Amino acid sequence: MTKRSWLGAFLDRNGLALGLYILFAVSFWLLFLIILPQLAMIDFSLRHDLPAAQQGGPLDVWTFENYRHFIFGLPGNPDGWNRLDVGVFGRTIVAAAFVTILNFAICYPVAYYLAQVAQGRQARVMAVALVVPYWVNEILRAFAFRIIFGATGVINSTLQALGIIDLPIDFIRADIALYAGLGYAYVLLMVFPLYNAIESLDRNQIEAARDLGAPWWRIHTRIVLPFAKPGITSGCTMVFMLAAGALAAPQILGGPSNLWFTQLIYGQFFESVNWPRGAAYAIILLVACTLLVLLVMRLFKVRLGEIGK
Amino acid sequence: MAGGVSVELDQLLVQFDKFVAVRDANVRIEPGEFFSFLGPSGCGKTTILRTISGFLEPTAGSVRIDGKDMAYIGPNKRPTALIFQNLALFPLMTVWENIAFSLEMKGVAVADRRKRADELLALIALDGQGDKYVHELSGGQKQRVAIARALCAEPSVLLLDEPLSALDLKLRQHMRTELRAIQRRVGLTFIYITHDQGEALTMSDHVAVMREGVIEQIGDGRSIYDDPATAFVASFVGENNALPGRVAEVRDGMALVDTTVGRLRARIATAARDQLRVGAEAIVFIRPEALDLDTAGASDETTIHATVIGEEFEGPNLHLQLRHESGTELRASLVNKGRTGTASIGSSLAAAFDPMKAVALPSGALSAEE
Ligand SMILES: Nc1ncnc2c1ncn2[C@@H]1O[C@H](COP(=O)(O)OP(=O)(O)OP(=O)(O)O)[C@@H](O)[C@H]1O
Ligand SMILES: [Mg+2]
């Protein structure tokens, strides 16, 4: 089909006014809110950090210096590579992946129960119970976690009262508070795609498998999980991307010695006021996360189109 | 392959909260039998099947398979295999993986699974189609794959929940013959559910007719059709003219009933022998094919005078719509023997019947489809 006839058909189907509005809104969204800002970021990331007076001057040329800095650090660095930044980057990716897996492990049973087991009122109550905590804003929730996991928090005092531990555990330094906070922050983003996928699975499939001798865990590995794969992918992708890009939770809950990569980016922008380097780091995070997600999708044989299902 | 075993339901009661879906079911199904549950939508057929296969626990009473009580034995531990109303084939697996699923669960090696699946594919005449996906098959082929998948689990009892209801008429008739043939070949006990009475009568050794959770009659096709136990069975199975009235006389297993079309003589149904007393409300059932225009030898009590108000010519049969002067309407089916002109619309005629073929039953609920 040619472009023109596609456009014509689209306008016919939606009417001229609505059709034009949709076209305008979508192109505005894509162009001004996604493509142009990203292009500007790429442009930034390829420039030197110059004082305002020299911008546009003879020194203002494109360079890969900021990317080079991420890998090798300052010139004359004794390590030969940027141990600090690459280290933070690696830990952030691994931690985000860990948060994603943890989140999936927590949310899958909930989504399965909600989609296939709970009925009527029970299901509605559960859905509301899942949503309501999110009326509390993210910052407040993070602080609440800090209090719960603090040295004199509920968890430590309970464990101490029960005589399980003598001295309070430093959950903050061990990053346990951070993982819990991040995991909790994205529960909904995981539950609902999973719920959607599992909900459309015909109950008879589960019963047929059971009737044919499948124990409960085989029903999950052989029937439910393969069927829910698109939902799993979209849930995990969202949680991973958002966890890797989270700022507030690491800021509040992160241990003093463990930085999240976004905190480095934030620092470049607002503390060092080195926008080009901040932009380069942000783009490194974006590209790395995207590549990783695509790689994992290939590994699990999920196509991009399926996620939208 | 394991042979068939017996299945017994003993005072079975199944309740959903307050709602009683199946009440006091007592059934004995012999090993290797083709047994059908027949009844209108919502009468509890699926509930019975799910109780036999273990997806539901009886509220009271018991299910015994091969003499063993099945209480709290899960569906994966029972010697039954269920074929679902919508088949429930696994869409993400190939045909052969579907068929061999039960072997996979038993931990059988891939090569052996494949071999067994290929044998079963031959049995259902789908040789060489094992690597297709389910959505690439036709309705009838899917049907057969579902049967093969169930057979692969080597059940002793195969439970089928209206497996043919989604097929078109032609294919359905073909699959009926095929199912019956497979059943004879493998010798399993088949428990079959349907709301299609033709299906139940043609395929089954015995049929249980259900209404609102209660089994009204169990018998072979002939006794259900010719000697119904209740007014509901008489009206649900096959076409029937129902003529309500009051019993005027009972003698030698025959009853005289005063109906709107006059006093009629009819045989009292076996199950109603002790129930029909003089003065009781009763219904005389006369099948359309029991009515004949040849009135020779008929008495007043076996003749109905009526006007022809409609006719349907069907080739071998001629169906007449008749109306008695009281307003009661009747249907008569005449075998086409080349006689024409005896029954034109508007003409009056006398229709006679053999009183042994008319059945008198105590009045009761009729089938809503009537
Ligand atoms: N899980 C359930 N909870 C409550 N009521 C139920 C449940 N399952 C079935 N019922 C009720 O039990 C009755 C019998 O249902 P069942 O599914 O056995 O009917 P059926 O004879 O198989 O009908 P159909 O021919 O339409 O499949 C129905 O009135 C139905 O509403
Ligand atoms: Mg049913």
Enter the ipTM. 0.79
Say yes or no: A210 contacts chain B, CB-CB below 8 A: yes
- Dihedral-angle region of residue A96 (phi above 0 means left; psi in -120 to 50 means alpha; beta otherwise): alpha
Q: Which residue of B has its CA nearest to A212?
A: B102
> Confidence class of residue B307 from pLDDT cuts 50, 70 and 90?
very high
What does R_g of chain B's alpha carbons equal in angstroms?
Answer: 24
Reduced to 3 states, what is the DSSP secondary structure of residue B91?
Answer: coil
Domain count, chain A: 1
Cβ-in-10-Å burial (0-12, 13-18, 19+) of B73 comes to middle
Residue A260 lies in a domain: yes
E strand or H helix that includes residue B183: helix B169-186
B46 lines ligand 1 (CB under 6 A): yes
- Can you give the CATH number for the domain in which A234 is found? 1.10.3720.10
- pLDDT for B370 equals 43
Say yes or no: B82 contacts chain A, CB-CB below 8 A: yes
Q: Which residue of A has its CA nearest to B91?
A: A227
- The nearest CA of chain A is from the CA of B84 a distance in Å of 7
- pLDDT for B1 equals 45
Q: B82, A213: Cβ pair inside 8 Å?
A: no
Reduced to 3 states, what is the DSSP secondary structure of residue B102?
Answer: helix
Residue A198 lies in a domain: yes
Tens digit of each residue's pLDDT (9 = 90 or more) over B8-67: 999 999 999 899 999 999 999 999 999 999 999 999 999 999 999 999 999 999 999 999
Say yes or no: B81 contacts chain A, CB-CB below 8 A: yes
Nearest to B75 among A202, A204, A211 (CB): A211
B47 lines ligand 1 (CB under 6 A): yes
Residue A242 lies in a domain: yes
Tens digit of each residue's pLDDT (9 = 90 or more) over A218-266: 999 999 999 999 999 999 999 999 999 998 888 888 877 778 999 999 9
Residue A263 lies in a domain: yes
In testing the pocket of ligand 1, which one of B22, B43, B195, B369 has its CB within 8 Å of the most ligand atoms? B43
- Residue A183 lies in domain: 83-306
B331: which strand partners? B321
Q: Which residue of B has its CA nearest to A229?
A: B92
| Mean pLDDT of all residues belonging to chain B | 90
Residue A56 lies in a domain: no
Residue B157 has pLDDT above 60, yes or no: yes
> In terms of residues, how long is chain B?
370
Reduced to 3 states, what is the DSSP secondary structure of residue B261?
Answer: coil
Q: A213, B102: Cβ pair inside 8 Å?
A: yes
Residue A18 lies in a domain: no
* Under 8 Å between Cβ of B177 and B31: no
Residue A259 lies in a domain: yes
Which residues from chain B sit within 8 angstroms of residue A218, using beta carbons?
Answer: 105
Q: How far, in whole angstroms, is CA A44 from its chain's centroid?
A: 24
Tens digit of each residue's pLDDT (9 = 90 or more) over A184-223: 889 989 999 999 999 999 999 999 999 999 999 999 999 9
Residue A52 lies in a domain: no
Reduced to 3 states, what is the DSSP secondary structure of residue B311?
Answer: strand
Residue A29 CB neighbours (<10 A): 11
Q: What's the average pLDDT block by block, 10 residues per block, for chain A (309 residues)?
A: 71 85 92 90 87 80 86 81 89 93 94 90 88 86 88 88 86 86 89 93 93 93 94 92 91 83 90 89 93 90 72
Q: The pTM is what? A: 0.79
Tens digit of each residue's pLDDT (9 = 90 or more) over B221-235: 999 999 999 999 999
Residue B261 has pLDDT above 80, yes or no: yes
